[in-house]
Amino acid sequence: MAFYYKPLSLFFLFFATVFLIPLIQATKNGGITVDLIHRDSPLSPSYNSSHTHFERLRSAISRSFSRKSSLRLTSVSKSPESFQGTLTPIGGEYLMKVQIGTPPVEQLGIADTGSDLTWTQCKPCAQCYKQNIPLFDPRKTKTYRRVSCESDQCNAVGSASCDSSNACQYQVSYGDRSYSIGDLAVETFTFGSSSGQKVSFPKVVFGCGHENDGTFSATGSGIIGLGGGSLSIINQLDTSIGGKFSYCLTFLDSNVSSTISFGSDAIVAGRGVLSTPLVKKSPDTFYFLTLEGVSVGRQRLRHTTSTNTKASSSAEEGNIIIDSGTTLTFLPAELYQELESTLERAIAGKRATDPQGVFNLCYELPSDGQFKSPPIVAHFKGADLVLAEGSTFVEVEKGVVCLTLVPSEDLAIFGNLHQMNYKIGYDLVKQEVNFLPTDCSKAQ
C-alpha cells in the first residue's frame, strides 16, 4: 500500500504541534550556520591541485556565461508545461552538506539561489549520472512519504504527472538540457550547525530523482533550492527560520570556507549595514533588486529606463537579480559602456588584450604587482555598495588584469565575485536584502 503526504491532515497538525516547536526554539536560540564550499576551493571534493589559479578562474568565468543563458531561459519561460529550473552547468559554484532521512544519510548538493525544488539522486535509478557518494535509498528510511497528486505541493512543481498509484511525479529541466525526473516526497532534513549541534526539520518536500542526467558533476548529488518560490528550502522552513538566510563568501583562493546561515544566525544588523528592497517579479524564484547606477570615483553614472523614444528619469524596479551561482556581474549594455568609457579615461595604465577574448577592458599589470583604479560603487536603491578593488579588476592571465563587470543585452545579474567579503542577509518577511562589509575569512 502506498503512503502519501497530504497537507493539513490531523496527523500533520499533531506532528507539527509536538515536533516543530522544539525546532523553532532551537533556531531562535542559536540559528544554523553551515559551510558553503566553493567547487574550486582547496576544501572542495572536486578540487584539482593540478589546475592553476588561472585555469580555475577561467572555468568560473566560462560557467558565468552558461549560467546567465540558463537563468534567462527561465526568466522568459511562461508556460507550466515548459517549466524550467536553473542551474550552472558542470557542477554549480557552491556545495552544501545536508542529511536526509531517518536514520540520516549525508548528501552533498549544489546550493542554488536560482532554483526552488531540492532534489537528490535516488535508488532505484533508471538513469543516473555518476556521483561519488552513495545514492539515497528511500527504502532504508522510516520517514519517507510520497506526495499525493492532489496536493498543493504537487501543483507547485509546475510540471508534474500522476502514476498509477496517484503519487506525484515531478520533472524539472534546466537551461543546459540537464534534467531530473522522479517522485515528489517528504522527508526529514538535518543540518549540522557550526556549534556542533544538529537541527532536524520533518516533512520537507523534495524530489527523489530516479532519472537524472546532463552536465552534473560527480561531486554533487543534486540541488538544494534556495530560491524565492514556494517549494524552496527557505519558504518551506519559514516557520522555523523566520524567512531569513544569509551567506558570507570568502575569496576564491581562500583556505577558509564560506558559510550560509538560517534563522537567528542569518540576521544582518548593526553599524554599517546597507539595505535594499526585494522586488516581487516573475519568476518568483529569483531575487530581484533595483540598480540605480554605478560610480567611478566621484562620477555617478545613472541607469535609466528607455521607453519607446524617451528615457525615464529613474531606473526600472527590479532590473537586476542577485545570484550566488554566477561569478561575474552582468550590467545592462548601455550602463556598461558608460562605465568602461569612464574607467578608460580615469586609468593611466597600459592597455592589454584579453587572450581569451572575453573581457573588453584589460591592462598590463605593473611590475610591482599593484594595479590602481578608481573605486567603483554599485548604487542599489537605498544601498551604495563599494566593490572590493581586488574583485573589480582581476588578473585573468599572467600579467593581464581585466574588468570583471561585463555587458548584457538581456538579463542583468549581480554576481558572487562582487558579493565576497559582505555578509548578505535575505529577509523574506521584510522583503529586503542587507549587506554588511565583513572579512568573511575571519567572521566564523
Q: What digits encode the pLDDT tens for the residues 180-197? A: 999 999 999 999 866 677
Q: What is the DSSP string of 16-43?
A: IIIIIHHHHHHHHHH-EEEEEEETTSTT
- Per-residue pLDDT of 101-149, as tens digits, reads 999 999 999 999 988 999 999 999 999 999 989 999 999 999 999 999 9
Q: What pLDDT does 228 receive?
A: 94
Q: Distance between CA atoms of 365 and 348, rounded to whole angstroms?
A: 12
For residue 68, pLDDT over 80 is answered with yes
For residue 206, pLDDT over 90 is answered with yes
Q: What is the DSSP string of 249-286?
A: PPPTT-SS-EEEEEGGGG---STT-EEEE-B--SSTTS
- Helices and strands: H and E segment counts in the chain: 8, 31
Among candidate residues 40, 112, 176, 265, the one labeled active-site is 112
- Per-residue pLDDT of 429-443, as tens digits, reads 999 999 999 999 887
- Per-residue pLDDT of 318-358, as tens digits, reads 999 999 989 999 999 999 999 999 999 999 999 999 989 99
Model confidence band, residue 21 (pLDDT cutoffs 50, 70, 90): very low
Q: What pLDDT does 214 receive?
A: 84
Q: What pLDDT does 381 receive?
A: 97
Q: What pLDDT does 181 receive?
A: 95
Among candidate residues 40, 116, 176, 323, the one labeled active-site is 323
Nearest one of 255, 258, 328, 400 to 59, comparing CA atoms: 328
Q: Does 152 qualify as catalytic in the annotation?
A: no
Q: Does 112 qualify as catalytic in the annotation?
A: yes
Model confidence band, residue 29 (pLDDT cutoffs 50, 70, 90): very low
Residue 207 in contact with residue 201, Cβ under 8 Å? no
Q: To the nearest whole number, what is the mean pLDDT of the chain?
A: 85
For residue 60, pLDDT over 80 is answered with yes
Model confidence band, residue 306 (pLDDT cutoffs 50, 70, 90): low
Residue 415 in contact with residue 328, Cβ under 8 Å? yes
Nearest one of 441, 47, 60, 64 to 258, comparing CA atoms: 441
For residue 403, pLDDT over 60 is answered with yes
Model confidence band, residue 10 (pLDDT cutoffs 50, 70, 90): very low
C-alpha cell at 160: 508534474
pTM: 0.87
* Reduced 3-state DSSP string for 175-227: CCCCEEEEEEEEEEEEEECCCCCEEEEEEEEEEEEEEEECCCCCCCCEEEECC
